[in-house]
Every structure is written in structure tokens, then in C-alpha cells.
Structure 1
Amino acid sequence: MITTLTLRSIIPTISPKPTISKMNPVQCNDNNEKNVVSPRKWKGKGKPSYGTSRRSVIKKSFSQEQVQFSSPISTTDPVVGIIGGGMSGLLCALYLEKRGIKSTVFDTGIHGLGGRMGTRIIDPQPLIFDHAAQFFTVTDPKFGEMVDEWSKKGLVRQWHGAVGEIEAGGPFVPFPSSPPRYIAVNGMRPLADSILSETSLVNVVRQSWVSKLAPYNGQWYLSEKGKPCGNFDAIVIAHNGKCANRLLASSGLPLIARQMKRLDLSSIWALLAAFEDPLPVSTIEFEGAFVKGVDSLSWMANNTKKLFGSGSSGPHCWTFFSTAAFGKQNKVPQESIPSTTAEKVKEAMLEGVEIALGLQKGSLQRPFYSRVQLWGAALPTNSPGIPCIFDPHGRTGICGDWLLGSNLESAALSGMALANHIADYFQSGGTSPDEFAVGLDNKFEPLNGHDIGQFPGLESQGQINKAHDLQLTT
């Protein structure tokens, strides 16, 4: 994993010659885009090997004209527009501020910022569920410094509860205590609020669905269904999935769009369920378990025990995640889940819990509260393995966990890296843009990990034994 947050030194090994320089730009005659250079239509070599479900969007993306800004960058008071208020987008805003650069974060969250740092609180009990990111590990020193600060503020702590793997109907096997596992003390979402509290130059617009990017007089103008959202010297795309693809399809950024289209994302169902009594787990009372051998279930965690300790009383709030295969088989529009599908998914996942715990079918106590949610663009299955992507001619970058992996640490490092890269670009005045092209040609490689993400350093006892046996044989 790349630990440095300044990318200029690694650019030669990442993108030897940006494709953008081959586009034969011609001066645009449109008076509304006086400071924009627009080349002829770009034609990629060969047929793109992407999913057929997005073929029309991809075709539109590849036939668009590449925007090339020629006007000087304002070095006195530049402003960046950041689309997405998850970990990567918020840390990009924070680290831009550390370099003296203002930003506006546009986020679609109904309940708050944070993206997959989602915590659902159900009153009046209250019932508390982490319904996206469950925990994280730390391997990078920069991210470690941030986690140490969160720890000092009482925002995070080590998760000492039993976490491991459980086979269908089999025993629970705990993970070793090292590396440390971290959780947010009051649920994941407060971490987003904490990041924002450290800023004074960051404006947040929520609930906002930016629907169009348009170049005008040397800047990007953002709008939401025709309503102006402001003008910016550079743009950061800090989210992915269908919304990002549609936004980029006609934005004048075919190089950025091409890389985003290469991303494959899984679909995961989350079931939040509250039970009056403890579940009959194995001899070890685990708090979190990766489930093996169950079609409908990949993870189960007792939020009550995780957040409040083994001595907590009251309802037991569990988060269950499906496998990616189950998510794909039962995928529907996540904005409007049919009630019949929601009920079918809930029953299948509760049956999966019975199978995992070795219980007789129909013997599991019924939850007094339950809710299913589909993460339609849950986690990446492939990655370019680079902290960020940046098109200096279009003055647009991408950050997100998928660029390095699928965890909070990767999201944090990506946001930090892009912020410092944009700041360096602004400081240069944009006079040598090709030097700042990053990740526009990187190939994607398959990404391995659990269905709910990657946890660097975390290995099961089976993996440890396998590695040990391999060392003995070699």
C-alpha cells in the first residue's frame, strides 16, 4: 500500500504519457466557453470490455469531447467542489483546508454525512445499528495518527470482543488479537461529524444530488436539475456507482469516465434486527463473525455488545450482511424496494442465521424490529491500486476507497492524497498540467477480501496455518 500523500514523485511510474496529450485540441468557438479548449471526439483503441448493462452510458461517455481549460488558475482564492461526503470526500476537504483551499461538499445523505460510515438510531429505545462499515484496522502511519487523535477524543476504541469466523452449523473460531480492531464508540457516523468539526473553510450542502457538470469561463459550474450549485476551480468525484456514471457521461471528461466505468461493484443486503433475548451463539459468545458456507449470509454482529460491552442489558441489536452472490440474485432498485422483495430477503437472511448457528429451521426468535437495506453499489471487486485519479486538463479528480481497496483506511488515504495533489497543482499555476496526470491509464486488477470489505492484517487461524505450512514446505 502507498503510504506517501504527495504523488508527484510517483507519477512517472504511474502514467508515462497521458492519453489526453494525443487529442489534437482545437479552440472552442462557443462564446460561453471562452477559456475552454475542446478537442475533436476521442476514440478509444479496441472495444471496451465492460458490462453490457451500462453499454449506452459508456458509449456516450467515450464519444464526448474532452474539456481542456487554458485559463490560469486562481492561486489566491481557489475553490474545489467535492461531490460525496463519505470518508474520502470529507478528508479531501479537510486536507485541502490544511493547504489553505476552500471547498464545498455536496452530499446525498438523508440522515447525515458519512456515506458507508452509517449508523441508524431507532427511537425511543434507542436501538443502535452500524449498518455499513463495521470496524477497521490500521496499517498506514498517516491513518494511524488520525486514529490516535480520534482515540484521544474518545471517538474510537479497540474492539476487544470476540471476532472471527463461523462455518455453517459449526464452531466459532476467533481471530488473533493482533492486529488491533477499531470501532467508533457511538457508532460510525459521528466520525464524519468529527472530521467536519475540524474545518472552517468547508461548506456542506445536504441533501444534494448534483446532476450536471458544465465548463464555463475557466471554471466548472455545477447544477441540480437546473438549479445552480456554484462554480469551482476544480472538481472532486468522491462517490461511485450509477449516479457517478451518469454525471460523467456528458461532462467532457472521457478519460475520467473511462476509469470509473472499469470499476465493478458488488451488491449487499443489510438486515438490521433487534431481539429481546440473546441469540443462542456457540460456546464462545462472539460479537462479530464472518459467516462461511451460507448462501444468504456473510457477516453477523451484535451492535449492543460491540458498542456497550458484554454487561449491557436490554434489546440485542444485530447487523447481518448478505453475500455478494445473494445480493446479485436479489438485486432491485435500492431507492424503491418492493415490499415482497424486502420480506423475502429478510426471511432468507434470518434462515441463514439459523443455519450459521446450527439451529432448527423456524426456531430462531422473531425480531421485534427489523429493516432491510440494499447497498446497490456496495464494495469494489477490482481496483487500480493507486490513491487517486486526476485529470489536470479537465481539473477533475476521483477519490474513494475503491482506488486502493475496500475499507475506511483506503478511503482516508485516497482523500488525503487527492487533496495534496490538487493543492500542488494549484500551487504550480497549472502551467505544466501533464506533470500532474495521475491514474488515467492504470489497469484494474481483481480485489480479494471478505464480502463486506478488506481488513489489512486480519487473518483467520486457517489462513495462518496455511501460511505456516507453506513456509515449512518451501
Structure 2
Amino acid sequence: MILTIQPLKLTKPSPSPFHSIRTAIFCEKKAPFRRRKYNSSRRSVLKKTFIQEQVKFTAPVSDDPVVAIIGGGMSGLLCALFLEKRGVRSTVFDTGVHGLGGRMGTRIIDPSPLVFDHGAQFFTASDPVFAELVHDWSLKGLVQEWMGTIGELELGGQFTPLSSSSSRYVGVNGMRPLADSILSQTHMVDVVRPSWISKLEPFNGMWHLSENGKPRGQFDAIVIAHNGKCANRLLSASGLPLIARQMKRLELSSIWALLAAFDDPLPVPVDSSGSPFEGAFVKGIDSISWMGDNTKKISKAKDGGPYCWTFFSTAAFGKRNKVPQENIPTVTAERVKETMLEGVEAALGLSKSSLQRPCYTRLQLWGAALPTNTPGIPCIFDSEGRAGICGDWLLGSSLEAAALSGIALANQAGPLILSYIADYFTSGGSSPEEFSVGLHNEFQPLEGHDIGQFPGLESKEKIIEPQPV
């Protein structure tokens, strides 16, 4: 069934599917169940009430279109940036209390201060389009090449450095300041945060957004630039069944992040030049998949402690110890912290209970951490519903993949970067079926490290298979 939305024309709304459900349930005791015609069972009828009607906009796109982008991670930010390059205005709605960036999170704890990247640890740039962006960020002093040694750390303290065919980059003052700076010089992008968009409604040829009943504006098109349970709830009754179906196919891992500061340096293995490693993919330990020295990576000129480290669990450990991330039980937090510190101790080859106690710890659960499957396409766009999706999971699990997905949804910038939203607006919205993409692609398992993919590292080193999730 197609729901056609015309501008300035009010029609009697179709009955809510939830009204049908309530009627069926509440009347069950008043009337005996009767077998329906055509061998349709009550269960199948109830199931059909959950099938969304497809929104189909037929009104011409406005001369000055505005796009709502829900999610202010790398993908959403670059989608907004490249929409502006094509002359399209947008508003980015993000839930971040401390700043933009999504998984590009940086925690700064006063008064020292202590600085931790508690999401993305570093990134590579193998695609020429993304590499050009990174070069521009470098010239602006937003990113720098990470020259510290990284490698693989085996149980017992055996360390093997990794070479790379691509440079490794980090934010100069952490990852979040980079995210906050991406839109600093834009003039056609508004940012609203913290904001939790809770409802999308098509009406009079526009998308109307609201947050807990409060109107948040009307837009010519929408972009979903985040994923997980919140995105699924948002799409569940939006009138975009094809997009909702693709989003629900996505599978995400859960990973614990432990931020820990120590008064003294950790006794980490050194490379052939005698330099201690600054980051390591941990192998053979269930509770730890990565350990990174934020003090060396970010605060290079700092003398003395505290020394700030970020430890990530494996996906398998995260799955077994998953709890609601908004309300982590104290007993779970303490158990996870101690188990992860024991894992660090074993990885470094230290005797039991010899690891120094941290002077500061903070534990966070990334309940929807990284994708474990992908359709392998740049983006998804439903032209009839004027709605799209971008995110790292469409191409992989890296900052580069997130960036390329956002660009792909916004702009044409190279042979592998396709244009949908901006070109659709340029065409005036004619022949919308020509601009739809990714609505039926199948998903495939995604390989990489438990903390993501790093194009360039995989080209020379053995890929670390992710733990089962």
C-alpha cells in the first residue's frame, strides 16, 4: 500500500495499526475466535498490522531545501559538510552532552587534567577523497600523524610491532575536538545538541521532527546517521519500511571501555629501538582486545604522571557481560573493571596482583559499539520517502568508512563516491526511482579488529579475527 502525501491537502488519516491491535486484543474475550477467510490466521493478521505503509512524496522539492541529519558522528558531520558544498542547508541533531563526534569520544577529567580517547583510538586514510580531507585537517592543526609504535601483544608480554602502508592519525587534542571542528567554518549548517529526536512524521510534503512532543522543525529530507535501538525505534513507525528493514539487519557488538590513570608508567614491552609501545592489539586474552597510552599519544610534552590508558574488552567479553548501558549495576561495573585489569596484567606478563592500582578509573559500555555485518555499499537512500542512511557500517567499521558514507550520501566526489541527496534536489525530485539505492542489498559478515578496521594495517599484517558475538 502506498501513502501519497500531497502539499496543503488534508485527507482523512488511515486508522492507526496500533488501534487495530488494541481492538483485536481487548475484544478477544468478548467474542469467540473465528477463522478468517482465505485461511488467514489471527496471528498473520496481527503481523500484517505491523507492516508500514510506504511514504511517497509527490510534491516538488522546495527551491531552498533543508535536510535534517540525525546523528553528529563522523558520517553525519561530513554529510552536512558536503551538502553545503552543493548548496543544500541542513540541521544536525545530536545527543552528545559534551560535544559532537559519536564514537569519536574524548574524556577530559579535571583538575590534572586527565585526557582519554574512549572511543576511536586512531584512523588511517587509504581512500584519496578521505586522504585529501585528512591533509586539510592536518594543515589546520586538527590532526597529526601518530608516530608511536603499535603492534600485537601476546599473552605473557610478547610484543610484535606492526608496520603500515598508510599513515596513522589522531586528533591533536583528542578525537572529540576534531569532530567539534569539522563544521566550524560552515554557514549553512545548524547544530542542535543535546537533542533526542523521538518521532518522524510525514505531512504536507515535509518531514516533521519532534523531541518528546516538542516540535523540532520541518525538513525536505531526513538522514539517519546513527544506529542501534534508538534508530530502530525512530524508524519503526516512520513510513519507511524498506529503510527500517535494512537497519534492522545490522548487527552490532558490545565493548567495554576502561579508562585508567596510573601514578607511574606501566612496564610495557619495548620495540627494537628501545621505545615502549603506545598501542597494542591484545591477543589470547578474553577480557582485553586493545590497550592505548593516551599520555604518549596526546600529551607528548607532559612530564610525570598520571599516565592515562584506554583499555577495550573483546566483543565476546562485552556480549557476556552486557547490561543496560544507561544504568550499569555497581556489582557488574566492579567485576568488569577488576577482570579487565587482570587481563592487562596477564597481557604485560606481570605476576598476579603485581599491577599497580590505578589512581583513577572510569568504565563505559559501548552497547552498540561496532558493526559485525555490512551491505558493502556507500549509503542507503529511499527517494520516494526522501530519506537516507549513512554510517561506517555500510562500508566497514572505521572512521574512513564513516566519512566516505556521509560524503556518498551528500555529494559526488570521485568514481566510487555516488551522489543521491544533492543530485536528487538538483533534479527537482523528478523520476525518484532513479535515485534510490541500497534498499535491497544483502548483508555479509564483516572482518577486522574488535575495535574496528584500519585500512593499510590489514594490507601487510595478519588480520586479527574478531571474537564471536
The two structures have a TM-score, normalised by structure 2, of 0.86
1:365-380 alignment to 2 at 5 Å?
365-380=356-371
Aligned partner (choices 52, 56, 72) of residue 68 of structure 1: 56
In 1, Cα distance between equivalents of 2:72 and 2:136: 21
Equivalent position of 1:160 in the other structure: 147
CA shift at 1:124, angstroms? 0.3
Equivalent position of 2:255 in the other structure: 268
CA shift at 1:34, angstroms? 5.4
1:358 aligns with 2:349: yes
Change (3 A) 1:151 1:34: farther
Secondary structure of the equivalent of 1:397? strand
Aligned length: 422
The answer (yes or no) to whether the contact 2:82–2:410 under 8 Å persists in 1 is yes
Map Cα deviations across residues 360-391 of structure 1 (whole Å, 9 max, x no partner).
11111000100000000000000001110000
Structure 2 residue runs without a partner (length 5+): 18-46, 412-419, 464-469
Equivalent position of 1:404 in the other structure: 395
CA shift at 1:32, angstroms? 7.0
CA shift at 1:35, angstroms? 12
In 2, Cα distance between equivalents of 1:215 and 1:460: 46
Aligned partner (choices 267, 285, 301) of residue 292 of structure 2: 301
Higher relative contact order by CA 8 Å / sep ≥ 6: 1 or 2? Answer: 1
Secondary structure of the equivalent of 1:68? strand
Aligned residues: CA RMSD: 2.3
Secondary structure of the equivalent of 1:252? coil
The answer (yes or no) to whether the contact 1:397–1:418 under 8 Å persists in 2 is yes
The answer (yes or no) to whether the contact 2:3–2:56 under 8 Å persists in 1 is no
The answer (yes or no) to whether the contact 1:403–1:414 under 8 Å persists in 2 is yes
CA shift at 1:184, angstroms? 1.0
Which has the larger share of helix? Answer: 1
CA shift at 1:26, angstroms? 6.1
Aligned partner (choices 77, 90, 112) of residue 103 of structure 1: 90
Secondary structure of the equivalent of 2:341? helix
CA shift at 1:463, angstroms? 2.4
Equivalent position of 1:179 in the other structure: 166
The answer (yes or no) to whether the contact 1:87–1:408 under 8 Å persists in 2 is yes
Amino acid aligned to 2:151: G
Equivalent position of 2:199 in the other structure: 212
The answer (yes or no) to whether the contact 1:99–1:423 under 8 Å persists in 2 is yes
Aligned-residue sequence identity (percent) comes to 72
CA shift at 1:177, angstroms? 4.5
Secondary structure of the equivalent of 1:196? coil
1:227 aligns with 2:226: no
Equivalent position of 2:136 in the other structure: 149
CA shift at 1:170, angstroms? 3.5
CA shift at 1:299, angstroms? 0.1
Amino acid aligned to 1:303: N
Map Cα deviations across residues 255-283 of structure 1 (whole Å, 9 max, x no partner).
00000000000000000000000111123
Secondary structure of the equivalent of 1:93? helix
Q: Once structures 1 and 2 are overlaid, which stretch shifts more, 241-250 or 26-35? A: 26-35
Equivalent position of 2:304 in the other structure: 313
1:427 aligns with 2:432: no
1:349 aligns with 2:340: yes
Secondary structure of the equivalent of 2:182? helix
Larger Rg: 2
Change (3 A) 1:407 1:444: same
1:182-197 alignment to 2 at 5 Å?
182-197=169-184
The answer (yes or no) to whether the contact 1:33–1:215 under 8 Å persists in 2 is no
Change (3 A) 1:180 1:378: same
Amino acid aligned to 2:105: G
The answer (yes or no) to whether the contact 1:95–1:416 under 8 Å persists in 2 is yes
The answer (yes or no) to whether the contact 1:35–1:70 under 8 Å persists in 2 is no
Secondary structure of the equivalent of 1:192? helix
The answer (yes or no) to whether the contact 1:36–1:69 under 8 Å persists in 2 is no
Secondary structure of the equivalent of 2:222? strand
Equivalent position of 1:328 in the other structure: 319
The two structures have a TM-score, normalised by structure 1, of 0.85
CA shift at 1:191, angstroms? 1.1
Change (3 A) 1:60 1:290: farther
Structure 1 residue runs without a partner (length 5+): 1-22, 41-58, 465-474
In 1, Cα distance between equivalents of 2:205 and 2:125: 40
